[in-house]
Amino acid sequence: MASNLDKVYGSLLPADVAEGFETEGVISAVEPLGQGHINRTFMVTTKKDGAEYYYVFQRINTNVFKMPRELMDNVVRVTEHIRRKTAAEGKPVERCTIKYIKARDGGNGGYLYRDLSGQYWRAYVYIGDCVVYQQVERAGDFEKAGIALGQFQKKLSDFPADGLCETIPNFHNTVSRFGDFKRIIAADPKGRKAECGAEVDFVLSRENYCSRVLDRIASGEVPVRVTHNDTKLNNVLMDAETGDVLCLIDLDTVMPGSALYDFGDSIRFGASSAAEDEQDLSKVHFVPEYYYAYRRGYLSEAEEILTDAEIELLPFSSILLTYECGMRFLGDYIDGDNYFGISRPSHNLDRARTQFKLVSDMEKYFGIKA
Ligand code: GN1
Ligand code: MG
């Protein structure tokens, strides 16, 4: 494929990556896409015989995902499983599942390209005429997102959880996350702990939250399932015209987990009056109306597969996942911002503060205490 990408797009997309996949035509534009905190994502437009084609190229952050081949193997197998089920329901698979593009060199399991500097990339067909919300605007949209998660978990309920690689071990193991946090505050490598004493105390005083779901997994009341593990609203694609949910994207953390992690993480992000990184905490509130809308949608699909313990723990899971994420943001801030992408110096601290505000609100609302 002929191109002058070195000159035009070199800073965004190396030329060998641009030509590394079995895409149609010649690239005409490359733009950054999305709001993810981990991978770098680009929208790539190509032209062939007067037609335009749209792709998403992503550079996988191997600081976070240390097993990119296993990750891509998980993602492709889960996507194929969902595609079969979606086709059986008579739904349009090309809008409701992601189509990954093969790497031209066929290496790394087929769908990953390793560039000349050793970075791993993948590419897929962009699903057009869709929207992604950074915040809930209408309870009805969030209810639809809940339906989508219920359908996702149901479709994967016959996918053997032990057939997937745990690409980030202990991803939602809050006890292990708490251990990481304690190590970070003990090391305090940037001397930032002193300025966030109240936030550190907030985390430490809630240690007993950490094992509550894990204990119920150990007792067998909460089953291990195939779960998405990163269900925030901006990982949900909706049809721009009908408003219907098309699919959950960002399957990088699809792994064995608990349905509670997916439910709680959705509430953490969506049942809030403000953005995850809002700096004015007076604008940040838990919104019960959104919580119930999501719960209604989710249970309309998932109730039939959930155990009593899972349903009982839905409110607590919302607190737990919000607490865990706040602890991760705060830990990353104190550690020197090595994990989550930031666009201002206190970004991770601001994110942690919104999470703790939401935890406090939910504790009051649900009457749950540490
Ligand atoms: C990260 O990649 P992204 O932005 O969808 C993170 C999630 C956090 C989320 C917080 C692999 O998700 O666990 O909940 O940021 N993903 C990873 O916004 O750590
Ligand atoms: Mg994402």
C-beta neighbour count of 3 within 10 angstroms: 15
Task: State the burial class of residue 1 (Cβ atoms within 10 Å of its Cβ: 0-12, 13-18, 19+).
Answer: middle
Q: Name the closest ligand to CA 328.
A: 1
Which of the residue ranges 29-33, 138-142, 362-366 would you say has the lowest mean pLDDT?
29-33
Superfamily of domain 131-366: Aminoglycoside phosphotransferase (APH), C-terminal lobe (3.90.1200.10)
Going by alpha carbons, the residue nearest to atom 3 of ligand 1 is: 36
Across the chain, what does the average pLDDT equal?
95
pLDDT at 5 over 60: no
Residue 136 CB: number of other CB atoms within 10 A? 22
Atom of ligand 1 nearest to the CA of 252: 11
Mean pLDDT of 69-84: 96
Calpha distance 136→267 (Å, rounded): 11
- Cα(254) to ligand 2 centroid in Å equals 12
**pLDDT of amino acid 7:** 44
The DSSP call for residue 211 is: T
Q: What distance in angstroms lies between residue 7's CA and the mean position of ligand 2's atoms?
A: 30
pLDDT at residue number 2: 42
Give 236 Cα–ligand 2 centroid separation in angstroms: 9
Tokens of 290: 């959104």
What counts of helices (H) and strands (E) characterise the chain?
13, 10
pLDDT of residue 10: 60
**Quick one: which atom of ligand 1 is closest to the CA of 234?**
5
b/e map 225-238, b = 16+ CB within 10 Å: bbbbbbbbbbbbbb
* CA–CA gap between residue 192 and residue 165 (Å, rounded): 35
Between residues 8 and 282, the one the model is more confident about: 282
From atom 5 of ligand 1, which residue's Cα is the shortest distance away? 36
Residue 8 has pLDDT above 50, yes or no: no
Contact 324 CB / ligand 1 (< 6 Å): no
H or E segment at 296? helix 288-302
* Residues near 169 by beta carbon (within 8 Å), at least 6 away in sequence: none
Query: How far is residue 284's CA from residue 322's CA, in Å, rounded to a whole number?
Result: 13
Distance 279 CA to ligand 1 centre (A): 19
Q: Which residues pair with 120 in a beta bridge?
A: 114
The answer on pLDDT for 128 being more than 80 is yes
Write the pLDDT tens digit of every residue in 319-329: 999 999 999 99
**What tokens were used for 100?**
């990954």
Mean pLDDT of 337-350: 97
332 lines ligand 1 (CB under 6 A): no
Instruction: Return the ∠ at Cα 228 (arms to 222 and 231), rounded to 5°.
Output: 105
Summarize pLDDT for 261-290 with one digit per residue, the tens: 999 999 999 999 999 999 999 999 999 999
Task: Give CA–CA dist 136/4, Å, rounded.
Answer: 41
CA distances from residue 298 to 131, 145, 259, 370 in whole angstroms, order as listed: 20, 8, 11, 26
Tokens of 101: 């593009």
Confidence band of 162 (pLDDT split at 50, 70, 90): confident
> Which three-class secondary structure state does DSSP give residue 289?
helix
Atom of ligand 1 nearest to the CA of 36: 4
pLDDT band of residue 354 (cuts 50, 70, 90) is: very high
The one-letter code for the residue type at 312 is E
Residue 1, pLDDT score:
43
Look at residue 77 and tell me whether its pLDDT is greater than 70: yes
Q: Rounded to an integer, what distance in angstroms lies between the CA atom of residue 97 and that of residue 87? A: 10
d(CA 94, CA 86): 10
- Using a cut of 0.75, tell me whether the model's pTM lies above it: yes
Tens-place pLDDT, residues 79-125: 999 999 999 999 999 999 999 999 999 877 899 999 999 999 999 99
Q: What percent of the chain has pLDDT over 90?
A: 93
What pLDDT shows up at residue 15? 87
Find the mean pLDDT for residues 223-234: 96
Q: Which ligand is nearest to the CA of 250?
A: 2
> For residue 230, how far is its CA from the centre of ligand 1 (angstroms)?
6
